[in-house]
């Protein structure tokens, strides 16, 4: 029987000719990732293993991004532990404040994920690198610890869902609208334990930043991973950022899929997820009048340069609504530099938005933009769970950067077409 | 091995942000995490939970963030087992890795209510609702997972594999 793209990557990393869905395997890893929240717990478990070195100093990445720049004393202690661990074990890819970024924006930019890699990270959005044709999935801290020691981990080979994207999306429809549409369609457990494999002629219209966004939110459908075939856009991205070209895998023609969904991108509308689940989606035409206290544009989902260009383009020469707080979170230092070069920083600040250093901060209710009781935010982030951005009695709505920027001008969730 | 306790019952898609909100993740001490476990959807859980109590929920328990702090907080609260219709995959891995017993059993998840007294036989996977006298059979763990638990979890398994045990 044929294999999916994910299954081929897993087979290759397990040293097997073929694998089938449900099979339990041990796979070699190309990268093991952690952040300042998950790595401290991993360090404790790593100490219990009792080895005196990590499996490969070049294949571990540690990115303190959640509560950095350190938000309080306890966070500072965590970051210190992580820094000392990275130093002691000579972890080559440790990124201090100043060189860091939001991990899932930073890792591809640094060329640490390439096609055909098998990657785990103690962060659920590690699935982002599926955009590059890699197998990449989130795990916990103990998994991270054991993988740092052994260089491999166990997987249950996932079955797959196929998403055939056809047609060309309209002007204001981005990767975020596509993934929100899909999660609305299949639900937050619609892909539980499975791969979401993308294909179809619609892919040619999706930039790498669109694909990163779509792969990033695979976890919001419960998936193990989301993955895109490698094409000219992927190759160009990898050539620009990485020293390795990676290995390109393609799904067999007779690969088995539990279901196939065909999505006509030309028919999609800008889409918004209502509280408190990413599956509670409505198109922009059906949102009604939703007044906002805060707009957040950025994160590992939508903190890339195209997201910034889109938002700045809408805000340029205008002012954000009176009384609304508009926070911009670029994904990396490099993206911030590009924003300066392109004048986007000026666009945002002149419009009355505030631009932050790269941090996960507000997305998870960590710092830099917490909501009070009864407050409501529209965010380009990935989760709108109860209390996600602050008070358990606050509300988070999810959208694309275009919808968020348009809404920043009016103070209500707004169709960018109407600006 | 058996567990017995009274039930805290929750619904679908209990995410790890409500199990332990991120605002408390600046501390990884299990007792500190337990003192805020579930508080955003059940404010008095940390005060009411007793050693051995059982958590029962519907589908997709533990979805969202990969934070291992979530099963750590539940375990440190004294919960002896989480029964759910289904678990989100990262939570499932984490629970096994840290030794928090979990059972998938759609029948039990549907039939058991808040406050019921429940007994679990981990050897057979039999769940008994002592209030209604109903029994339910949980899905057995795959052999691989049983072996993983038998050797003492992932850290021990890694130690053996690397020859440092």
B100, B2, B14, B115: which is closest to B57 by C-alpha? B14
Q: How far apart are CA A307 and CA A285, in angstroms?
A: 22
Q: How far is CA B91 from CA A95, A189, B67, B151, in A?
A: 27, 13, 8, 20
Q: How far apart are CA A281 and CA A284, in angstroms?
A: 9
If you search the block for the tokens 């982030």, which residue do you land on? A381
Contact B67 A140 (CB under 8 A): yes
Contact A385 B158 (CB under 8 A): no
Residue numbers in A near B23 (CB within 8 A): 365-366, 370, 390
* DSSP assignment of A313-371: HHHTT--PPTT-EEEEE-SBHHHHHHHHHTTHHHHHHHHT-EEPPS--GGGGTSSSSPB
B67, B65, B60, B48: which is closest to B8 by C-alpha? B48
Evaluate whether A395 touches A275 at the Cβ level (below 8 Å): yes
> Which residues 352-371 of A have a C-beta within 8 angstroms of B?
364-366, 370
Evaluate whether A363 touches A383 at the Cβ level (below 8 Å): yes
- CB nearest A387 (choices: B40, B88, B144): B40
Buried b (16+ CB within 10 A) or exposed e, A355-386: bbbbbbbbbbbbbbbbbeeebbbbbbbbbbbb
Q: For the complex shown, is ipTM > 0.95?
A: yes
Q: What is the pTM for the complete model shown?
A: 0.97
The H or E element containing residue A401 is: helix A401-410
Length of chain A measured in residues: 419
| Dihedral angle computed from the Cα positions of residues A157, A161, A162 and A165, in that order, rounded to the nearest 10 degrees | -130
* 3-class secondary structure, B86: coil
Q: Pick the residue from chain B with its C-alpha nearest to A35.
A: B67
**Residue-wise pLDDT tens for chain A (419 aa)?**
899 999 999 999 999 999 999 999 999 999 999 999 999 999 999 999 999 999 999 999 999 999 999 999 999 999 999 999 999 999 999 999 999 899 999 999 999 999 999 999 999 999 999 999 999 999 999 999 999 999 999 999 999 999 999 999 999 999 999 999 999 999 999 999 999 999 999 999 999 999 999 999 999 999 999 999 999 999 999 999 999 999 999 999 999 999 999 999 999 999 999 999 999 999 999 999 999 999 999 999 999 999 999 999 999 999 999 999 999 999 999 999 999 999 999 999 999 999 999 999 999 999 999 999 999 999 999 999 999 999 999 999 999 999 999 999 999 999 999 99
Evaluate whether A239 touches A208 at the Cβ level (below 8 Å): no
Hey, which bits of chain B come out as E strands?
A: 2-9, 54-57, 81-84, 102-104, 117-121, 126-129, 134-137
């Amino acid at each position: 029987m044929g294999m999916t793209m994910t299954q081929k990557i897993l087979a290759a990393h397990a040293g097997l000719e073929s694998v089938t869905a449900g099979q339990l395997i041990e796979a070699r890893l190309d990268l093991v990732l952690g952040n300042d929240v998950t790595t401290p717990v991993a360090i404790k478990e790593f100490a219990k293993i009792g080895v005196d070195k990590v499996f490969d100093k070049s294949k571990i990445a540690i990115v303190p991004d959640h509560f950095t720049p350190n938000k309080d004393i306890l966070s500072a202690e965590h970051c210190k532990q992580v820094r000392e661990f990275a130093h002691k074990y000579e972890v080559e890819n440790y990124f201090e404040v100043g060189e860091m970024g939001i991990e899932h924006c930073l890792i591809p930019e640094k060329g640490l994920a390439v096609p055909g890699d098998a990657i785990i990270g103690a962060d659920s959005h590690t699935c982002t690198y599926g955009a590059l044709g890699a197998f990449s999935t989130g795990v916990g801290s103990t998994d991270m610890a054991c993988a740092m020691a052994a260089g491999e981990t166990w997987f249950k080979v996932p079955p797959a869902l196929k998403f055939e994207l056809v047609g060309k999306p309209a002007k204001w429809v981005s990767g975020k609208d596509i993934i929100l549409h899909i999660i609305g369609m299949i639900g937050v457990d619609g892909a539980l334990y499975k791969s979401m494999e993308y294909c179809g002629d619609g892919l040619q219209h999706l930039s790498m930043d669109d694909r990163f966004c779509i792969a990033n939110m695979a976890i919001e459908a419960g998936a193990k991973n989301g993955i895109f075939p490698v094409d000219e856009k992927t190759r160009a991205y990898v050539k620009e950022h990485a020293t390795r070209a990676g290995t390109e895998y393609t799904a067999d023609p007779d690969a088995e899929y539990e279901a196939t969904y065909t999505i006509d991108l030309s028919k999609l509308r800008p889409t918004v997820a209502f509280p408190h689940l990413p599956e509670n989606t409505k198109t922009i035409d059906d949102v009604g009048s939703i007044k906002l206290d805060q707009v957040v544009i950025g994160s590992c989902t939508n903190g890339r340069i195209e997201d910034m260009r889109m938002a700045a383009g809408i805000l340029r020469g205008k002012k954000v609504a009176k009384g609304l707080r508009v926070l911009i979170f670029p994904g990396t230092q490099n993206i911030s530099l590009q924003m300066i070069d392109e004048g986007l920083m000026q666009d945002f600040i002149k419009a009355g938005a505030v631009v932050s250093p790269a941090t996960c901060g507000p997305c998870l209710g960590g710092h830099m933009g917490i909501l009070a009781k009864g407050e409501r935010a529209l965010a380009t982030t990935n989760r709108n769970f109860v209390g996600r951005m602050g008070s358990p009695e606050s509300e988070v709505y999810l959208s694309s950067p275009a919808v968020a920027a348009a809404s920043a001008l009016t103070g209500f969730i707004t169709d960018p077409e109407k600006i | 091995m058996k567990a017995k306790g009274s039930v805290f019952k929750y619904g679908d898609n209990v995410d790890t942000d409500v199990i332990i909100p991120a605002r408390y993740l600046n501390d990884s001490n299990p007792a500190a995490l337990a003192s805020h476990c579930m508080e955003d959807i059940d404010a008095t859980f940390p005060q009411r939970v007793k050693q051995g109590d059982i958590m029962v929920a519907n589908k997709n328990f533990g979805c969202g963030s990969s934070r291992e702090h979530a099963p750590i907080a539940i375990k440190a609260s004294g919960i002896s087992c989480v029964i759910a219709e289904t678990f989100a995959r990262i939570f499932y891995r984490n629970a096994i890795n840290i030794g928090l017993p979990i059972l998938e059993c759609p029948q039990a998840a549907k039939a058991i209510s808040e406050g019921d007294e429940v007994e679990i036989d981990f050897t057979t996977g039999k769940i008994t609702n002592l209030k209604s006298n109903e029994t339910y059979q949980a899905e057995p763990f795959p052999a691989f997972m049983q072996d993983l638990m038998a050797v003492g979890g992932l850290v021990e398994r890694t130690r053996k594999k690397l020859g440092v045990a």
